[in-house]
Amino acid sequence: MKRHLAIDLGASSGRGIIGTIEGGRIKLSELHRFSNDPVETPQGFFWDTLRLVHEIKASILKAAHDGGVDSIGIDTWGVDYAYIDDKGIMMAPSFQYRDERTAPMMDKVYSIVPYAELYGVTGIESMSFNTVFQLEDDVSRRPWLHKNASKALLTPDLLGYFLTGNTCCEYSIASTTALMDAKTKKFDPSIMEKLGIRADIFPKVVMPGTPLGRLSDKIDAETGHTGAEVVSIAGHDTSCAVAA
C-alpha cells in the first residue's frame, strides 16, 4: 500500500498528513503539526523559511517511523518567493505577503501596464501582494538581487528545491503571480519586459502531478532513508481545496 505525505502549510501553521487508499477510500492521518511564525523586523516582515524546512524534515522522519513514505507533496499560500544564486543558495529571506512594501507599486505597475491589460491577460484579481508588485519593488529597490539571481522560486517550489535540489515552477502557484497568460499557461514575456522583470526569472512551468525528484542523499539520510519522491502537486492551497 502506497503512503503519501501531504505537507499543508498555511499562514500561521502547518501539518504533515499521511494519506493512503484503502478499499477505494482515502484515509488521512495527521503525524505532525507545527506553527508557522513570520518574523517582523525594522527592515520588513519575513517568512522563517528555514524553520519550515526543519519542520518538513520532522514530518518526513515521523512518517518514516510510522511505516514509511513513498511520495511527498507540498502546498502553501500563493504569491511569495525567494531568490537563489548560481550556487543554489537562498540569497535573502522571503518577504511575507502582508509586508507593506508593495503598496506604492500598484500605481507604478498600472502606469506602465494598465489594469485592464494586466487583468485581460492574467485574469487575476488586483491585490497589492500579488507577485507582480513584489517583483516590481525588487526591480526598483533591490535591483542587485533581481539582476544577479539564478532563479526565483515560489514558496512550494522553494521548499521542494530544498528537499531535492531540483527546480520547477508548478502551474497553480505560478498562476498567483499575475504574470501568467491564462490562455497559454506560460509567463507573458511582453508584460515582464515592460515592467523590467526578467522573463527568465522563474523555472519552467510544469503541471500538477509532475515528479520533482527523490529526496537528496543528505535529506534522505536525515529523514529515515525512505527514498521518497517529491511530486509537484497543485502548490497553491486554494487549488488543493478546490480539487478536494
Residues with a known catalytic role: 237
Q: Which amino acid is at 12?
A: S
The closest alpha carbon to 31, from 2, 71, 68, 1, belongs to 68
Q: Which amino acid is at 228?
A: A
Beta carbons within 8 Å of 77's beta carbon, 6+ residues apart? 9, 10, 11, 97, 155, 236, 237
Beta carbons within 8 Å of 149's beta carbon, 6+ residues apart? 83, 84, 85, 91, 201
Beta bridge partners of 43: none
List the grid coordinates of 189. 514575456
